[in-house]
Structure 1
């Protein structure tokens, strides 16, 4: 993908969104996994409206996308977003978060439906 120049305003907006630990963790997880709101609720021990608010902020700037699968809406990182290469450089510096998903699987709370 052709790297477009990132304005200071766009960089500041992305960094502000990722400056929240919950959103940063969500984005790291969504880089390699699709997740449902209810999985994040369980994972972060937060209310569904709080999780939805975090996801809305990420979706509004195009960082995440959603896909309906039956009754569930799954979120994933939008790798076609024009500034994904900038985000990817940040995510590569972070520790893997897949252990959070393993805990959900062990507890039987990981959504596996399609």
Structure 2
């Protein structure tokens, strides 16, 4: 179970838009991550590579945690809003829930729930 201080440090890292670094510092080596009900990506290195590739397709991203954050034992639910600006200058606003299972002070399993239609840049 993460301590409140660790959870706050994780949220701060994501809100600073250091997404790859957040995965590096706050996920287990064997962590899994999945989008909605897709097959999970497995392993911290693969998660970092996927995130870096996704971010490279955009000009910028702004990340915001919408509180409250729910913590129950090893499980955490965070509501996120991400605003992406494409390299062409169009924008997309994504709202999602991240359902996480922590092993001690690190995320070992995460599933995102969101409407994929939100990824249409306008």
What is the TM-score with the length of structure 1 in the denominator? 0.30
Q: Which has the higher strand share?
A: 2
Higher RCO (C-alpha 8 Å, min separation 6): 1
What is the TM-score with the length of structure 2 in the denominator? 0.28
